[in-house]
Amino acid sequence: MQRFENAREAALALRPDEPVYGFRPEVLKADARNFMAMFPGKTAYAVKTNGEELVLRTLVEAGVTAFDVASPGEFAAVRAVSADAEMLYMHPVKAQSDIRLALEKYGVRVIAVDHEDEVTKLSRVVRALDLDPGALTVFVRIQTKGSAAYELSKKFGAGPAYAVELAERLNRAGHKVGLCFHVGSQIQDPDTYERALASADWVRNRISFKLAGLDVGGGFPAEYGHDPNRRHREMPSLEEIMSRLRADLKEYQFEGIPLVAEPGRVVVARAFSLIVRVLLRKGRRLYINDGIWASLSDSWTGKITLPARFIPDPAIRSRNGNENNIVPFKVCGATCDSVDILSRPFWLPETVDTGDWIEIGHIGAYSLSLRTRFNGFYPDTFIEITTPFEEGDVPQGFASLETMAAE
């Protein structure tokens, strides 16, 4: 992989027409180690956030030994980079054949359920493979309420009373039983984990046996940009969220049992930026070479504001306007699809023009893992960048803001 100090150097050397992912392995390692140092239990990286081989390999180098996986593709991706990494199969709804594959071929011994039919599927596989039920830790996923960019309890999780019933049933079957939840991605309310712990506590107080573990899931927020025209909703730093979580775990007396977290976004967001090119400027509209069907769907559906840095093409000799005047542009994606228009503008210097580049920062999570081959566009060019996105010249703009103030 070609290496550059920063995106500007890369753009001017390569003059890329296709989107380029700028990978920062040292940032990834630092963020993974930082999380592991702060969380008082096992850290299982959520592979769906970004399952690229180079990401998984770098995480293994950083000392990550456990991965949250959901599918045969993810089992194989983890095994390809580590012969002995532990896999936690935390998807609550699974094909029976996938459960069998996980237990038989990949040695998975930790699994999540939120319904009795999932328990039935699991029991069939355990019997067919003649496994000792006591070798399996089964986490009952409980519903939680909170505020996040993505709510997940609408889709998954057992209500507290039902969770008690499932836990008892799993215990009778001879399994070790834990509780898990996932508060949703990119939480927007620092009380979220405490509320979830209160639900877990409610369930724990009504079961007849000792819990084998508590898995607090993901949801830890990554740092993104914010709309300069809107009142900024201050979120505490990860350090503060973690210190509060540790205090809450203690208060609810969960610190004595094995703890797990499944961070995705907060580990990998800062590890990538994306260099896109302006294919055409038409008034206050920019047509770029990426879009909602490639790397930008998360900022679209999650209403996430990403920092952006303008990389002017030096070949453009004359420009209109003032480079210090930051204005909103409507952004159209690369495909012929009329839906492929970002729901939020990019704020950039008014001088931006056809042929310029934009570096979009903090885009490691739910970007390239969600890209499609729609219309034949599939960004797949990677370079290494040695300087963190935040360093060097200040990003002037923002990609995808919450409001189009000028509209």
Ligand X SMILES: *Cc1c(COP(=O)(O)O)cnc(C)c1O
Binding site for ligand X (CB under 6 A): 46, 48-49, 68, 90, 182, 185, 217-220, 262-266, 365
Positive or negative torsion for Cα 25, 26, 30, 36: positive
Nearer to ligand X, 262 or 359 (CB): 262
DSSP secondary structure letters along 224-237? ----TTS-------
In whole angstroms, the minimum distance from the beta carbon of 180 to ligand X comes to 8
CB neighbours of 1 closer than 8 A, spacing ≥ 6? 23, 54, 382, 383, 384
Nearer to ligand X, 4 or 181 (CB): 181
The enclosing H or E element of 200 equals helix 192-204
Least distance in angstroms from the C-beta of 12 to ligand X: 33
Instruction: Specify the residue, 300 or 346, whose C-beta has the smaller distance to ligand X.
Output: 300
Structure tokens at 128: 């067919």
Both tokens assigned to 215 = 């898995």
Nearer to ligand X, 11 or 44 (CB): 44
DSSP string, 101-159: HHHHTS---EEEESSHHHHHHHHHHHHHTT--GGG-EEEEEBP----EEE--TTTS-B-
d(CA 282, CA 318) in angstroms, rounded, equals: 17
Quote the least distance from Cβ 133 to ligand X, whole Å: 23
Q: Which is nearer to ligand X, 269 or 275 (CB)?
A: 269
In whole angstroms, how close is the CB of 157 to ligand X at the nearest point? 10
The β-bridge partners of 208 are none
Other CB atoms within a 10 A radius of the CB of residue 209 amount to 12
- Record the tokens describing residue 151, joined without a space: 């709510």
Which residue number places its CB atom closest to ligand X? 218
**Nearest distance, CB of residue 373 and ligand X, angstroms:** 23
Taking the least distance from each CB to ligand X, the nearer of 151 and 168 is 151
Q: What's the min distance (Å) between Cβ of 32 and ligand X?
A: 12
